[in-house]
Amino acid sequence: MSGPQCCENPPTLNPSCGSGRLEKIAGLNAYVTGLPESKLTVLLVPDVFGYEAPNLRKLADKVAAAGFYVVVPDYFYGDPYNPENAERPIAVWLKDHGHHKGFEDTKPIIEALKSQGLSPIGAAGFCWGAKVVVELAKCGLIQAAVLLHPSFVTLDDIKEVKVPISVLGAEIDRMSPPELLKQFEEALAAKPEVDSFVKIFPKVSHGWTVRYNAGDAEAVKCAEEAHLDMTEWFVKYLKF
């Protein structure tokens, strides 16, 4: 079950942040940024705090600036996790927002994007979102995957991945500790038909890529290193 670390450093949500715009895709609100003419599309699947997190949207804009059309769906239907709601702890909230539902919600999103000529499609998942992305990677519904400080992802999940996958983890992470990430790396190394990359970032904690303090230069530097790794993975594997 998701623990406190999964919910540390909650962002101050802002529905108007970012330089992109809001659109409806397959019935879900989504933050979109970048030019659809690029065709190369990246889905960002958020952590439990959802698609209005400023750092996440800032990252979406950054990926768009690298030449991608970026889509961040509102998987929680306007109901992101609220740590201040004592009557609805994370375990209760997750019952309403399971990963399987996120996976099922993504299928029509991908279909809608492809119907607009937006392809190939990659996906990056943060914490909660990583489980959704690994399910997409197991089914081959996307062409490249990146998992950032994943939660709920198992070794069996990794063994079933069918597309190039990058796993970016934290040294200080109870959800995906380094020992588990090394097992992921070994399992992927045994699958030479699937390109893979596993990296453990020293001295950072779960959530560091999107829940960093913008005033902490070292935290920003570590987050930006992961952002670059993620973007370069998509540059390498999302091609016509």
Query: What was the pLDDT predicted at 4?
Result: 58
What CATH number corresponds to the domain at position 104?
3.40.50.1820
CB 176 within 8 A of CB 183: no
Q: In this predicted model, what pLDDT tens digit does every residue of 174-195 receive, in sequence order? A: 999 999 999 999 999 999 999 9
Domain carrying residue 127: 4-237
What residues in the chain have per-residue pLDDT under 70? Answer: 1-5
Residue at 132: amino acid letter: V
How would you classify the pairing of strands 21-25 and 28-33? antiparallel
Query: What was the pLDDT predicted at 240?
Result: 77
Domain count, the chain: 1
Read out DSSP for 117-162?
T--SEEEEEETHHHHHHHHHHHHT-SSEEEEES-SS--HHHHHT--
Q: In this predicted model, what pLDDT tens digit does every residue of 30-67 receive, in sequence order? A: 999 999 999 999 999 999 999 999 999 999 999 999 99
Query: What was the pLDDT predicted at 3?
Result: 52
